[in-house]
């Protein structure tokens, strides 16, 4: 059996290049374009697209963007609107195949797999959007709230056990990212 090497695309556009901390793990197959900043010990998993071509994208330290996720931003509007950058704080968990567009995820928040977070949305610290949910434009999930459904609605507040589980997930992804970085000969 022959192994094929999958490459990572890191490309500039409009005079802006991605800035990636040396300790971050960027998996093979990822495409990272434009005004993107990725913090220390963050991980971007296999086949993600992070495209900062019309606004900026920030991914904080120890946050993870799991396999197949798409992260984009919202462009400036005719008439003077600035659009929405995508800002992902520190220690954020983002599940597989999520779609994030022009939103803010505060530190310690969680986006479940297959979820959609649209323009102008905010998920406050330790807030959670459940798997498969869609947070429609301009909505705000409060700190430690769990929202579910399409469109997403508040279900309940998270208890200490749920918040502790998410924190444990962050630690696990940092460690697993280091292992995958080593296994892929990337550091």
The C-alpha atoms of residue 23 and residue 3 are separated, in whole angstroms, by 25
The residue ranges of every structural domain in the chain are: 9-183
Q: Give pLDDT, residue 184.
A: 87
Which residues make Cβ contacts (< 8 Å) with residue 107, sequence separation at least 6? 60, 89, 90, 91, 92, 125
The C-alpha atoms of residue 89 and residue 72 are separated, in whole angstroms, by 15
Share of the chain above pLDDT 70, in %: 96
Q: Give pLDDT, residue 79.
A: 72
Q: Which fold has domain 9-183?
A: UDP N-Acetylglucosamine Acyltransferase; domain 1 (2.160.10)
34-77 pLDDT tens trace = 999 999 999 999 999 999 999 999 999 999 999 999 999 999 87
Q: What is the mean pLDDT of residues 89-115?
A: 98
pLDDT over 90 (residue 94): yes
* Residue 4 pLDDT grade (very low, low, confident, very high; cuts 50, 70, 90): low
Q: What is the mean pLDDT of residues 134-152?
A: 98
6-34 pLDDT tens trace = 688 999 999 999 999 999 999 999 999 99
The upper half-sphere exposure of residue 124, i.e. CA atoms within 13 Å in the direction of its Cβ, equals 11
The upper half-sphere exposure of residue 28, i.e. CA atoms within 13 Å in the direction of its Cβ, equals 12
Q: Give pLDDT, residue 85.
A: 97
Q: Maximum distance among all alpha carbons in the chain? A: 57
């Amino acid at each position: 059996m022959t192994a094929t090497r999958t490459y990572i695309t890191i490309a500039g556009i409009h005079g802006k290049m991605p800035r990636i901390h040396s300790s971050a793990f960027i998996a093979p197959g990822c495409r990272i374009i434009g005004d993107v900043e990725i913090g220390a010990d963050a991980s971007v998993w296999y086949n993600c697209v992070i495209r900062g071509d019309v606004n900026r994208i920030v991914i904080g330290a120890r946050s993870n963007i799991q396999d197949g996720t798409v992260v984009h931003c919202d462009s400036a509007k005719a008439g003077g609107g600035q659009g929405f950058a995508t800002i992902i704080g520190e220690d954020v968990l983002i599940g597989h195949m999520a779609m994030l567009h022009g939103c803010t995820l505060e530190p310690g928040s969680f986006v479940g797999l297959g979820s959609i977070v649209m323009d102008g949305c905010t998920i406050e610290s330790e807030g959670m959007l459940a798997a498969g949910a869609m947070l429609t434009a301009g909505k705000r999930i409060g700190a430690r709230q769990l929202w579910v459904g399409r469109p997403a609605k508040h279900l309940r507040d998270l208890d200490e056990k749920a918040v502790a589980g998410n924190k444990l997930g962050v630690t696990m992804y940092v460690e697993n990212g280091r292992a995958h970085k080593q296994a892929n000969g990337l550091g």
